[in-house]
């Protein structure tokens, strides 16, 4: 388990401020946030690679705040692999064994298991600078896990890989996490990665943690406008609440419940807004007629923005739906969404 309390790190022009974070043992935890949010700084502070100016970091039952990196039992894997290019693959993988007092038999078993799981057997004698990105990342993972760390920190391990290798390594990460029981703490920008890998996650911004929770919580129930925007809740409106309704620029939106006191925003995921030509009977409590403002091509999906009175909604639909509904700019369209799809905060 990692327990971080009141952690501060200060550099010229950047700081991590009063970070509180608990990562349970064996969890696959994801740290998300925009560039410059402080995710890598937090990882390196946990690993002991940068000095902290305040607070504590506890791993298991040991306060490691003042311990050097080699005494923390924390492995780290970087986006750019950071392999030892003067050594071959075997010597890269076994580099850390001499420092950990793991007996030879267990070291051998760990080595054989990781080589098999990460499909490295044909690469063992190769120099690392002759390997592909995916192969290099698999070597980096084996090198970090062979010494049985309590925690493995992964700094965007898939970001530099081709899509084909990325899927490969993502599957390997999932399998290794499940089989090793090691706590994984990974930084990523990719929501798909977060959704497919994480048990829990945190969103960082400007050196602070904005929200921590299950991955569903963060994606469905953001607690700040930043998180809502970051996780792609494009329909984010400041609202006035009246009984079970939210009033946005004069438009009444039915919530189906009374929001808590102090809440000021509503957010709806664009994929939860359904477009249609004709009003249709469904359980959806909110149906409005609007006019298509813009159609934005995102490749796999199209984003359609629809103006309803003074409020603009965004909806994500497939190319096929776009053609079937014959959606065109400035034409009227009906939008509908469930009251349960509306998140208030």
| Minimal distance, residue 279 CB to another protein, in Å | 58
| Minimal distance, residue 44 CB to another protein, in Å | 7
Residue closer to another protein, measured from CB, 70 or 119 = 70
Classify strands 28-32 and 183-187 as parallel, antiparallel or unpaired.
parallel
Binding to another protein, residues 57-86 (CB under 8 A): 68-70, 72, 74-78, 80, 82-86
Q: Residue 337: count other Cβ atoms within 10 Å of its Cβ.
A: 23
Binding to another protein, residues 229-258 (CB under 8 A): none
Residue carrying the six token digits 């902290």: 52
| Minimal distance, residue 74 CB to another protein, in Å | 6
Based on the shown chain and the rule CB under 8 A, indicate whether residue 38 belongs to the binding site for another protein: no
Is residue 273 within 8 Å of residue 336, measured between CB atoms? yes
Lay out the site mask for another protein across 126-165 (x = CB under 8 A, - = otherwise). Answer: -x-x----------x--xx--x-x---x------------
Residue closer to another protein, measured from CB, 100 or 264 = 100
Based on the shown chain and the rule CB under 8 A, indicate whether residue 106 belongs to the binding site for another protein: no
* Cβ-proximal residues to 42 (8 Å cutoff; 6+ apart), any chain: 7, 9, 16, 19, 21, 31, 204
- Residue 299 φ/ψ, nearest 5 degrees: 85, -95
Based on the shown chain and the rule CB under 8 A, indicate whether residue 11 belongs to the binding site for another protein: no
**Element of type H or E holding 124:** none
* Cβ-proximal residues to 266 (8 Å cutoff; 6+ apart), any chain: 235, 236, 237, 239, 246, 248, 253, 255, 342, 343, 344
| Minimal distance, residue 45 CB to another protein, in Å | 12
Based on the shown chain and the rule CB under 8 A, indicate whether residue 262 belongs to the binding site for another protein: no
CA dihedral 127, 132, 133, 135 (to 10 degrees): -70
Which residues of the shown chain bind another protein in the complex (CB under 8 A)?
A: 44, 47-49, 68-70, 72, 74-78, 80, 82-86, 95-96, 98-100, 127, 129, 140, 143-144, 147, 149, 153
């Amino acid at each position: 388990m990692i327990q971080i309390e009141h952690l501060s790190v200060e550099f010229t022009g950047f700081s991590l401020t009063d970070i509180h974070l608990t990562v349970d043992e064996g969890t696959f935890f994801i740290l998300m946030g925009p560039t410059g949010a402080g995710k890598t700084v937090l990882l390196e502070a946990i690993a002991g690679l940068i000095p902290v100016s305040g607070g504590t970091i506890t791993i298991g039952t040991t306060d490691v705040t003042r311990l050097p990196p080699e005494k923390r039992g924390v492995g780290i894997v970087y986006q750019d692999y950071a392999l030892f290019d003067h050594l071959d693959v075997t010597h890269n993988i076994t580099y850390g064994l001499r420092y950990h007092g793991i007996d030879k038999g267990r070291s051998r078993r760990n080595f054989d298991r990781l080589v098999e799981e990460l499909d490295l057997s044909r690469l063992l004698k190769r120099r690392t600078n002759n390997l592909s990105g995916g192969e290099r990342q698999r070597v980096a993972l084996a090198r970090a896990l062979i010494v049985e760390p309590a925690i493995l920190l992964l700094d965007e391990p898939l970001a530099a890989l081709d899509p084909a290798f990325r899927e490969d390594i993502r599957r390997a990460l999932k399998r290794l996490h499940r089989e090793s029981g090691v706590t994984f703490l990974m930084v990523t920008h990719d929501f798909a990665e977060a959704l497919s890998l994480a048990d829990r996650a945190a969103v960082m911004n400007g050196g602070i943690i904005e929200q921590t929770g299950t991955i569903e919580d963060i994606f469905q129930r953001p607690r700040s406008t930043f998180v809502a925007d970051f996780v792609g809740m494009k329909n984010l409106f400041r609202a006035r609440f009246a009984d079970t309704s939210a009033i946005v620029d004069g438009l009444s939106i039915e919530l189906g419940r009374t929001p808590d006191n102090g809440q000021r925003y509503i957010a709806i995921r664009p994929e939860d807004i359904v477009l249609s030509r004709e009003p249709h009977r469904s359980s959806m409590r909110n149906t409005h007629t609007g006019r298509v403002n813009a159609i934005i091509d995102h490749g796999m999906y199209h984003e359609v923005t629809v103006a309803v009175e003074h409020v603009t909604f965004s909806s994500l639909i497939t190319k096929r739906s776009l053609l079937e509904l014959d959606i065109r700019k400035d034409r009227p369209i009906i939008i509908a969404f469930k009251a349960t799809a509306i998140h208030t905060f």
